[in-house]
């Protein structure tokens, strides 16, 4: 079996039943809420900040605020004080994060989504972190990751995760596959991780475990490929870090504006050089705001739905779209 990246396949078009691509519905149901697009900017310090997350929430997009710089408790408190319509935050598996859960619960703060965000999510500390959220914030939806095997997805879901973030070593600023040797090409990774069910066929309680495909999204069309592979949503970093209003620092190189995009396990993010599995990459600015980029993605995804022969994101499901290896 050949293991495939998004660039290793091309999708094949079906008969279109749409009069116009603008009629295509790009909205997605994700853990009980409806969002305008099945794409979320990576929860990284060079990709999103509080201002961008607030703007995305107000516009009906899903977001995940990163876990760096401020404590989980402080971020949640600010979002509650400002009455955000959606509260979606990140945490690690450290003891301070778990103490913050107790404080948040004691103060009755609302948290809609918590993403437990670590490099290798199939581990005992992930299980303990999920159990802590379930204990102190039982109404909060849990996204856990990252992993890249079906076994890991099943385990995280069994431990209590409502959705799983899949992808290891495939993001452009990530050096995990070079430094450790461990990874899986994204299209194959998503296919293996995104067709698993919970419950049982006998009592009709089965449902697909939701996944976010994290890594390897270089072009808008890769989002459609991730959905064809089975992901519920896709996560992208560079295409948003390159926006004019991203928190990534700007610099001029040969009269071209570049943005400093770095991974969560990079020295730039950690502030030290121990256990580094990421790097800083200067990428050309795309001269769009994040919301303008989201609008462009919507238009392209509407075209993808038309090519897939559907009316909404279901067009990408049930093996409806064929592909060829290139």
Active site members: 174
Of 6, 133, 135, which is closest to residue 76 (Cα–Cα)? Answer: 133
Phi, psi of 54 (to 5 degrees): -65, -45
> Which residues pair with residue 113 across a beta bridge?
88, 141
- Length in residues, the chain: 326
Task: Return the DSSP state at 139.
Answer: T
Give the helix/strand (H/E) hosting 259.
strand 256-262
**Long-range CB contact pairs, 80-88, < 8 A, 24+:** 80/109, 80/110, 82/54, 84/54, 84/57, 85/57, 85/58, 86/33, 86/57, 86/62, 86/112, 86/113, 87/111, 87/112, 87/113, 88/53, 88/57, 88/62, 88/63, 88/64, 88/112, 88/113, 88/114, 88/115
- Radius of gyration of the chain, Cα coordinates, nearest whole angstrom: 19
């Amino acid at each position: 079996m050949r293991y495939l990246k998004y660039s290793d396949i091309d999708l094949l078009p079906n008969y279109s039943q749409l009069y116009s691509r603008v009629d295509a519905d790009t909205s997605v149901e994700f853990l009980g809420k409806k969002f305008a697009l099945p794409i979320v900017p990576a929860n990284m310090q060079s990709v999103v900040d509080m201002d961008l997350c607030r703007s995305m929430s107000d516009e009906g997009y899903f977001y995940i605020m990163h876990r760096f710089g401020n404590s989980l408790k402080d971020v949640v408190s600010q979002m509650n004080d400002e009455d955000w319509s959606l509260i979606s935050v990140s945490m690690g598996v450290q003891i301070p994060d778990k103490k913050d859960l107790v404080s948040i619960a004691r103060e009755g703060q609302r948290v809609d989504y918590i993403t437990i965000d670590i490099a290798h999510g199939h581990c005992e500390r992930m299980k303990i972190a999920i159990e802590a959220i379930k204990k102190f914030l039982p109404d909060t939806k849990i996204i856990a990751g990252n992993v890249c095997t079906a076994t890991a997805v099943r385990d995280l879901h069994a431990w209590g995760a409502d959705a799983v973030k899949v992808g290891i070593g495939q993001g452009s600023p990530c050096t995990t596959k070079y430094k450790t040797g461990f990874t899986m090409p994204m299209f194959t990774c998503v296919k293996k991780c995104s067709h698993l069910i919970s419950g049982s066929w006998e009592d009709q309680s089965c449902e697909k475990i939701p996944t976010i495909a994290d890594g390897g999204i270089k072009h808008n069309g890769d989002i459609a490929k991730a959905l064809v592979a089975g992901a519920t949503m896709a996560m992208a970093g560079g295409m948003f870090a390159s926006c004019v209003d991203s928190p990534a620092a700007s610099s001029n190189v040969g009269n071209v504006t570049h943005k400093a995009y770095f991974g969560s396990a990079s020295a730039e993010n950690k502030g030290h050089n121990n256990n580094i599995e990421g790097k800083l990459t200067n990428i050309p600015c795309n001269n769009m705001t994040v919301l303008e980029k989201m609008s462009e993605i919507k238009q392209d995804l509407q075209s993808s739905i038309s090519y897939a022969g559907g009316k909404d994101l279901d067009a990408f499901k049930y093996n409806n779209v064929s592909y060829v290896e290139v």
